[in-house]
Structure formats: structure tokens, C-alpha cells
Chains A and B, each alone.
Chain A
Amino acid sequence: MLSNLISIPVMLVLSVFQMTAISRINFLNGSADLILLATAAWGIREKNSNSIVWALIGGLMVSAASAMPSFSPVVPYIFTALVARLISKRLWQAPILALIITTISGTIFQHFLYIILLQLSGIPLDFAQSVSNVTLPSLLLNFFFLFPVYVIISDIWKWVTPEELYA
């Protein structure tokens, strides 16, 4: 219960930080996505469906601020949480590898979904240009922020999780 409740302030802080600071740190036209990274990190640490709640809360907060089609940001975050659960069960001895695979698959799914949705809503997007100028730089920036976010989320997870579960 606490791990569900803690997702609200954590995702709120990350959303605000994302919009005010991280979105301004660009490489070409890409930028990191703290919500996706936090969802992936929580999904790797937490083995139950709790990470879906984190994805949902984060997705709703991003949806409220973003001009993307309604509630579309929720989908890639839930996908990321599901991938994190699936991967962490297969690679439970290598959480860092699981985290990297989750981040790659989550970022690529998110960007492909956004490109398709924006094209469907009538915005002319060049696919190759979008991938080379936005998706790949975003992936690189996600890797840059991945481990700091993982450390913070791990600390929060240890704080809210009873000690016998991870000792």
C-alpha cells in the first residue's frame, strides 16, 4: 500500500523536474524521460504488479501536461512496467542488464507509438528524421540518467519495503 502511495509524490516530483529541467537538456532534438526510467527501475526492483500503478500514475501526470493525444503517454509506461516485470523474472541475477534492456525496449516502443499517433493525428513527421534526431539521442540521454534514477528509486524501494523481503 505504501509503495503505491509513494508513487504519487515521487512521480509528481519527477514530472515537474522533467518539464522544468530535463526537457531543456537536449541532445540534437532528443531528451531523457525520467518517468520512463523511474517506471523501469521500480519494475526491476518490485517483482509484483505494483510497477503498473507507478506507470499509470506517471502516465496520467505526463498526460495532463503534454500535448500528445489524450492519455497516450500512459501506454508506453505500462508497456515498460510489463517488460520490466518480464525481464526481471528472467534475469533476476543481473538487474542492471534487465534495466538496460527494459529502457531500450521502453524508449523505442514509446517513440514509435508517438510517431504513429502524431502521424495519425495529421502532423507530418518524417520517420527517418524522427528516429535519427529524436529517438536515438533520447535513448542516449536515457542511458545517461538511467543509473542515477535507479539508485534513487532503489533507495525509495528499500525505504518502503519491509527489510526481510530484500535482506
Chain B
Amino acid sequence: MKSVSPRNLRNAVVVFLAAGILLLAISGFLRPILGVVMDPFISTQRWLSERFMAVYDFFTLPRDITDLLARNAQLESEVSSLQTQVIQLQEQLQEADVLYSLLDFARARPQDKYIAAAVIGRDPSPFLHYVIIDHGTDDGIQHGMPVVTEQGLVGRIDAVTASAARVQLITDPGSVVNVRLQNQNSEGQISGSVTGEVTLGMVAQNVNLSAGEILLTSGLGGNFPSDVLVGQVLEITRTENQLFQSASVQPVVDFNSTRAVLVITNFREVNITPLIPTPGP
């Protein structure tokens, strides 16, 4: 029988020992010992790694910051572009809301024909309350046509050019509108003022005028169509020794924020001047 050489035996022992240690390590029996042995190496490696990364960052970060700054600028540009788009869309949405409201109003009064126009300016004089709209005679607008919004009466066309028109608001000191009280069988007149306040006058003393009364156009005088909402009575001034009562009126239209209006094009102003009797000689 051939004897095993000492060299082979030593190799076999080494292999068995290595396999045994490996099995013990895999099965977790050597964890405490490995911990004690490996901890200093791990700590050294961490320390070296941190120093290396610090040096690496020192050389590489400036380029990254430049890239980041460029990327940040690009993203900020995109954000501002998107914000602009959002504002434009909100603006368009508001315009669409206004136009839908005007359309609803127009549908509610099918007997009238309308032209929608945008408010593009105001009279330069602070004493007068006029607005300028972006439609004129080219679009069929004529002097005297009533102007409304979905809320109610705005005024009437005062002057027209080919592509623009000037609208006298009911708050103008020269404006007078004949109105009727919705819940009373009575009529009156509203007039504007230099401060933009609207006053109801010519209401007989026997009329039981109360705050909150709704005012509609009466159609008298032929300047405005009838039954267009004008405003609401706020505060009544009643003096016994006067012929008529008066009251302050809150118009339904907010004239400061009006952006679009409707011009009633099938209404013709009636000139009643020849019918007014003149005193004889």
C-alpha cells in the first residue's frame, strides 16, 4: 500500500481547515471574532474613503455646480414660462367667463340683437364717466344704442368712429334714465353725479319706497329698452315739504371692473323732441 505523502496530507489538512473556517463563517459562528478582526480595517477604510471623497469632491464639484446652476436656470426659465402660460390661461378663462355670462344674458333676451365689445379705455376727464369700447360703425354700432352687461344697464353710445365708440355710463353727471320700481306701480328717474353716485328722483311722496327696491328701465323717453335691471335702492331721503322723494341707488354693474359689454343693436332711439309742446307766443 502506497503511503500518503506528508505534503499531500498537509495540503488536505489546510483545505479541510479552510473549508471548516468558511463553513463556520457562513453559519455565523465566527462573527464575534471577525468583528474584532475586521473593525479596525473597516474604520480605516471609512476614514480613507471619506478623505478620498473629500478630495474627489474638491476637484469635481465646481463642474457639477456649474452644471447644476445651468440646470437650475433652465428649470427656472421653464417655471417662469409655465407661470406666464398659467396667467394667460387664467386671463383667457376670465374672459371666457365674462363672455359666457354675456351669452347667457343674450339668450335670456332673445328679442334683442347684441354685439359684444371690450372696454379699452376711459374718458381722460375725471369729471365725466365715459368708457371707450373697441367696436364702431364698421360693426353696426350707432349713436344712442343701449349698452348692457349680464348684470344690467351700463349706459348708451354717445359717439362713434369707424372702429371705436364712446359710452356714457349711467353714473355720468349728464346721464338721466327713466326707471320703474319693480314692486311698486311707480316710476322715477335716476341721475349720475361727478362722484359716480347714482340718485333716484322724481318718485311721488305717496309711494312706499323702501331700501332694497329693485329698479328697472321703464322705456319712457325712448332712450332705453324697458325692463333692464339698473340697480337697487340703498337709502331713502324723504322730506315732507318736497314734491318728490329721492334715494341713493347702488347700480348692479361694477363700472370699475367692467371688461366687456353688449351693445343692443336692434334698438332705435326715439326722438321725442318734436312732440314736446313749446310755450306759445
Contact = CB atoms under 8 A, between A and B. Distances in A.
Interface of A: 15-16, 18-20, 23-24, 26, 28-31, 33, 35, 62, 65-68, 73, 111, 114-115, 118, 121-126, 129-130, 133-134, 138
Contacts of B196: 29
The 7 closest A-B pairs by CB, nearest first: A19-B121, A23-B122, A123-B174, A31-B126, A67-B130, A123-B173, A20-B121
Contact of A67 (B166, B193, B194): B166
A15 B166 CA distance: 15
A129 B127 contact: no
A130 B173 CA distance: 11
Chain A CB within 10 A, most for which of B121, B126, B158, B193: B126
A124 B127 CA distance: 11
Interface residues of B, number: 23
B114 to A, nearest CB: 24
Interface string B111-128: 000000000111111111
Contact of A23 (B123, B173, B174): B123
A115 B194 CA distance: 10
B195 A62 contact: no
Interface of B: 120-128, 130, 132, 158-159, 166, 168, 173-174, 191, 193-196, 256
A29 B194 contact: yes
A140 to B, nearest CB: 12
Nearest to A27: B126
Contacts, number: 83
B121 A126 contact: no
Nearest to B122: A23
A22 to B, nearest CB: 8
A125 B127 contact: yes
B164 to A, nearest CB: 9
Contacts of B132: 19, 65
A126 B173 CA distance: 10
A66 B120 CA distance: 14
Contacts of A19: 121-124, 132
B124 A130 contact: no
Which of A66, A129, A130 gathers most chain B CB within 10 Å? A66
Contacts of B168: 67
Given A19-B121, A24-B122, 9 more contacts: A23-B121, A29-B195, A67-B130, A67-B166, A68-B125, A114-B127, A125-B127, A126-B194, A129-B193
Contact of B124 (A66, A129, A133): A66
Contacts of A118: 127-128, 173-174
Contact of A134 (B126, B130, B158, B166): B126
8 contacts: A20-B121, A29-B194, A66-B123, A67-B128, A68-B128, A124-B191, A125-B194, A130-B127
B176 to A, nearest CB: 10
A148 B120 CA distance: 24
B194 A15 contact: no
A23 B158 CA distance: 19
Contacts of A126: 193-194
B192 to A, nearest CB: 10
Contacts of A15: 124
Nearest to A121: B174
Contacts of B194: 29, 125-126, 129-130, 133-134
A115 B127 contact: yes
